[in-house]
Amino acid sequence: MSPGNMNIEGIAVRIFGNYFLQRKAKFSSLSEDLLKARLYTTTDKWLSKAAFYAIIAVSCVVGMYILFRLILSPVLDIGPFGLMDVVFIVSSSLVSFVVTFVAYFSYPKILAWERGSKIDKTLPYAIGYISAMASVGVIPYKIFKKLSEAEETYGEVSNEMKLLVRDVELLGWDFMAALKKLAAVTPSTNMRTMLQGAITTALSGGEMGDYFISAARDYMGERRAIYESLIETLGLFAEVYVIEIVVAPLLLVVVISIMCYLGSATLEVLAVITYLVIPLGTVTFIILIGMVSED
């Protein structure tokens, strides 16, 4: 954390810290979101900074409006400061305060959701790696430690495993206790389900290795079904593209060209189809395909 951020946090905590500390229980969901987003700070400090930045936003809005009045009043002959100015300042200040505070308050939830999405994308392959290691007899903790070292391949999944390794090797936690903690604070529902299944298997006397092999088979089956659905959707998009963006405009171009030759149409219509309709339609399909593929 930079010195500037530390100074801002210190000022914010001195002003608002006690207020939010007394109401910490009301923001339990924020505490969970901070953990899932891996933002290592307390709830009262985060809310204090949110309130501080909200006040700065209000000050900026009021200052800009007053500056606007001072500069443009002589030029535009707006008139003296009146009731409408007060109403505008109060309403805009309230809006800017609420928007800034809510945005800062919601940031951990958004970041946790983003991390959860990244975990879900690579989790099936990570479970495949785990099952491969388990099938040759590697103990579960060693598997998770190896997975934590493969960040370039498994991304956020490896980052989650680093938390487990830290708890075991630096904090001295028992492996099962660390596994339970990771299941509680991970932002990915799929990873939580997988870890809880592993914990239940171990506590019931089963073999984690067999569980991971079975889980890998299930997750890869789900991933295969998703890819099959994606291929079908892309095939539908291809058919629509060919009909609406290739065949239909081509027929229109031919018909309009004949009509232009006969004098019953103008070249402007042909230009719109060629330089506007077809490119925009193509760009729209590219965006749609990108969105579907990303999901």
**Of 98, 115, 132, which residue sits at a domain end?**
115
* Residue 145: pLDDT over 70: yes
Number of domains in the chain: 3
Q: What is the DSSP letter of 26?
A: G
Q: Examine the domain organization and report whether 69 and 108 are in the same domain.
A: yes
Q: Residue range 220-249: average pLDDT?
A: 84
Residue of 211, 136, 143, 130 lying closest to 175 (CA atoms) = 143
Q: Examine the domain organization and report whether 36 and 105 are in the same domain.
A: yes
pLDDT score for 79: 63
Domain extent for 234: 223-294
Q: Examine the domain organization and report whether 205 and 251 are in the same domain.
A: no
Q: Examine the domain organization and report whether 7 and 84 are in the same domain.
A: yes
| Sign of CA pseudo-dihedral 188, 189, 195, 198 | negative
Q: Residue range 232-257: average pLDDT?
A: 85
Helix-then-strand count for the chain, H and E: 13, 0
**Of 59, 87, 115, which residue sits at a domain end?**
115
Q: Examine the domain organization and report whether 86 and 12 are in the same domain.
A: yes
Q: Examine the domain organization and report whether 90 and 173 are in the same domain.
A: no
Q: Examine the domain organization and report whether 177 and 111 are in the same domain.
A: no
Q: Examine the domain organization and report whether 144 and 190 are in the same domain.
A: yes
* Residue 253: pLDDT over 90: no
Read off the amino acid at residue 234: L
Q: Residue range 250-273: average pLDDT?
A: 79
**Of 200, 220, 240, which residue sits at a domain end?**
220
Q: Examine the domain organization and report whether 110 and 122 are in the same domain.
A: no
Contact present, 180 and 171 (Cβ < 8 Å): no
Please tell me the least confidently modeled range out of 99-113, 124-138, 257-271, 279-293. Answer: 257-271
Contact present, 112 and 185 (Cβ < 8 Å): no
* Residue 111: pLDDT over 90: yes
pLDDT in tens, 171-186: 889 888 999 999 988 9
pTM above 0.85, yes or no: no
pLDDT score for 77: 62
Q: Examine the domain organization and report whether 127 and 186 are in the same domain.
A: yes
Contact present, 81 and 69 (Cβ < 8 Å): yes
pLDDT in tens, 34-43: 988 888 888 9
Distance CA 64, CA 56 (A): 12
In Å, how far from its chain's centre is CA 57?
A: 24
Higher pLDDT, 6 or 243: 243
Kindly write down the DSSP assignment for every residue of 158-184, as one continuous string: HHHHHHHHHHHHTS---HHHHHHHHHH
